[in-house]
Structure 1
């Protein structure tokens, strides 16, 4: 263990920064070569914008370039990247864990003075001989007060947004990333099967959700035994609770005739994958079956449209026409899909790769996107409920497209007679 000596006798004399190399570096999610590839891409962004350094503060930015996923609890975190160094800035409350679980150097700041985080930013540049004239920041996830504090810390330095360029870099996945995502999709299917087996009259939504979560967490631990286990969850909804895609599980008990929504989200080292399916407990009525089949029709066509060269907004436009034919376009609740990678319900978003009418991104090899149409029929109307399906597709270097979601969808697979 390496730590700074401390002989202070009162709080005012305690050290502002620490070096806490406690234990040894752990196996990371990706190889050193993969992190160097990512950092090289960021340094190209720096060079294009004449930046002396980049200060990343978002969950997704720090995770992508260092493998460290912080827990904020009211404290600031950063990754400072220069032309030849990368240094995580972490709070003393985490001790040596950030250094053990990240690529690059680490500086720990203490709570003994309010501005120690910003002092640590200065120290990271000073140690690497960098004088800050132009600094990159992530304006898509940087609170105004923190941005102003960084500007005050580096008085006279220009702060330049790099979030959009970094997002575009993250949109193209490496082979190592795709391998992690494929495991995530497989684990999502395992959670789905556990949920499907648990569905019965009288069981509550949250009990079903716990069963699915537990199955996925065990498989994640088995598949990635060298990484922390965190953030996996399930949204399992029934009846009126299916109306929104992000509705959390409740204590509602399942009833025969219910529309159900299965949503599994295994988190593998910060990487999000998802399985979403419509089900019914018992035979659906005629109108429910019509709406369900219409959404399945859109889903199947959407899977066909995802390929290299396709434009996000064009995919959305064609799928809209199918919903128009069924009179369901006003019932659509969100876009038809999005990018995958470092993403969660509380951090990250590659907004430039969403299948929406206002996105003109062209699909290309290395991208990983979902197809996930959803419509909601309001309570009291025939066929009431939310209908959605969700598959994940990998666009390969050879132009092929692989659907890595294997869980069946549609009425032929997901009417539960229990």
Structure 2
């Protein structure tokens, strides 16, 4: 049998990677020649095309991105992300049609030069923050505005709507009197990022695996007498060792500090018989988020009936609301059909019933009825990743329980991506 005949007879045809398949795969973490890896160029191409589609859908001529998460989503560049979140530095010009142009310092230019998503890299980056420009801030802002106007004239002369992200008051005012309309590109990026490709789900699963490693380390090392920050350090260690980026917050509390929720980890010592609740809020490998919450019991001893009741009620809400995350479901429909806690347990809900996640928390946010003034409607679509939240604690209670799961919306319904188990010892009954 010839090699050609053998190939025709035995070679398996590769099956397309679907969202449903990706949801069940955790990819290998090291480059090898014997296993399939994430198709990163395909993922970058998908994300850039999503951005272009939304630029056109919102009738913009171009957008200028300064948020490091937006830049990374659009083209894949990472350069001192946390620094650039509070100091404007590199920026990215994306027209509806035409070349993608990136301005950055030398480290960013070196990284960008390796990426197929960027057509032109320029070194004539201009200082946009007061830190770098001082009393010449207005002067440099006007020069930058002219630089962007020149790009508009060259690449989108017939559409003068320019979306500019996070440039500050001075940068926006620099366009006054120029032949351009400055608009907010937030809707462009929100609606581009909301639908994930299968490759993005693979990246997210890797981040979740790292987060679950951190949870395991925390659970295995939890002991009376350690501080909350000591326990939280195991999550940070797992993230860094796993190739992750950072953690958005330090939401871990114990005992009486679990009510009210959203108190950050402190030097308080964890005592026997206390609940420990946390929200991992991780930006892990590939820059994707894992937003999962769990509650542990610190021994020795056994959980009280009250602690079990709080935990069981929180888990009931997670499970009920997960089933509501169906493709096509409207935000308002989900809010109306949400799990309603027994009287006295739903008076201090989490700020969001559910929210989107990709490269960190993102659109949309579904609020509880108590925050009706903030409601906006929309509907779930296949490819969205949603975090379902629950916090249960009485108004004058001394304890509370925070739980959260991360799931993927598919054509056939929600698939939970976070596989870390709930605590059997904290359940008051079989549910």
Tell me the TM-score range normalised by the shorter chain. 0.7 to 0.9
Aligned to 2:325: 306
Gaps of 5+ in 1: 1-28, 222-228
Aligned to 1:291: 310
Q: Separation in 2 of the partners of 1:124 and 1:216?
A: 38
Q: Separation in 1 of the partners of 2:312 and 2:57?
A: 49
Superposed CA offset, 1:122-166 (max 9, x none): 546647823655133256x553333223x24x8121123332133
Q: Separation in 2 of the partners of 1:117 and 1:389?
A: 45
Pairwise CA distance, 1:335:
1.6
Matched, 1:250 2:250: no
Aligned to 1:172: 195
Q: Relative to 1, partners in 2 of residues 1:138 and 1:178: Cα closer, same or farther, differing over 3 Å?
A: farther
SS at the partner of 1:34? helix
Report if the CA contact (8 A) 1:58-1:142 is conserved.
no
1:230 to 201, 223, 245: 245
Q: Relative to 1, partners in 2 of residues 1:270 and 1:354: Cα closer, same or farther, differing over 3 Å?
A: farther
Q: Separation in 1 of the partners of 2:180 and 2:71?
A: 22
Superposed CA offset, 1:270-323 (max 9, x none): 211122112222433333322222222112212222222222232233335x21
Aligned to 2:99: 85
SS at the partner of 2:379? coil
Pairwise CA distance, 1:179:
0.9
2:356 to 332, 339, 342: 339
Q: Relative to 1, partners in 2 of residues 1:245 and 1:255: Cα closer, same or farther, differing over 3 Å?
A: same
Q: Separation in 2 of the partners of 1:41 and 1:48?
A: 10
SS at the partner of 1:389? strand
Q: What TM-score do the two structures reach when normalised by structure 2? A: 0.74
Pairwise CA distance, 1:206:
0.9
Q: Separation in 2 of the partners of 1:51 and 1:333?
A: 36
Mapping 1:175-194, distance limit 5 Å: 175-194=198-217
SS at the partner of 2:400? strand
Q: Separation in 2 of the partners of 1:276 and 1:215?
A: 16
Aligned to 2:75: 66
Q: How many residues align?
A: 366
Of stretches 45-54 and 55-64 in structure 1, the one that deviates more from structure 2 is 45-54
SS at the partner of 1:183? helix
Q: Separation in 1 of the partners of 2:107 and 2:345?
A: 52
Q: Relative to 1, partners in 2 of residues 1:414 and 1:126: Cα closer, same or farther, differing over 3 Å?
A: farther
Q: Relative to 1, partners in 2 of residues 1:121 and 1:342: Cα closer, same or farther, differing over 3 Å?
A: farther
Q: Separation in 2 of the partners of 1:58 and 1:45?
A: 17
Report if the CA contact (8 A) 1:88-1:107 is conserved.
yes
Matched, 1:281 2:298: yes
Report if the CA contact (8 A) 2:54-2:192 is conserved.
no
Matched, 1:148 2:173: yes
Q: Separation in 2 of the partners of 1:118 and 1:79?
A: 17
Q: Relative to 1, partners in 2 of residues 1:59 and 1:406: Cα closer, same or farther, differing over 3 Å?
A: same
Aligned to 1:106: 121
Pairwise CA distance, 1:209:
0.9
Pairwise CA distance, 1:66:
1.6
Superposed CA offset, 1:99-121 (max 9, x none): 55784132232668655576466
2:344 to 309, 327, 331: 327
Aligned to 1:354: 366
Q: Separation in 2 of the partners of 1:102 and 1:214?
A: 33
Matched, 1:135 2:135: no
Q: Separation in 2 of the partners of 1:44 and 1:386?
A: 44
Report if the CA contact (8 A) 1:62-1:79 is conserved.
yes
Q: What TM-score do the two structures reach when normalised by structure 1? A: 0.77
Mapping 1:381-392, distance limit 5 Å: 381-382=396-397, 384-392=398-406
Superposed CA offset, 1:20-53 (max 9, x none): xxxxxxxxx8633433333333333333454332
Pairwise CA distance, 1:413:
6.0
Aligned to 1:206: 229
Report if the CA contact (8 A) 1:408-1:414 is conserved.
no
Superposed CA offset, 1:188-222 (max 9, x none): 11111100001001011111111222123212x3x
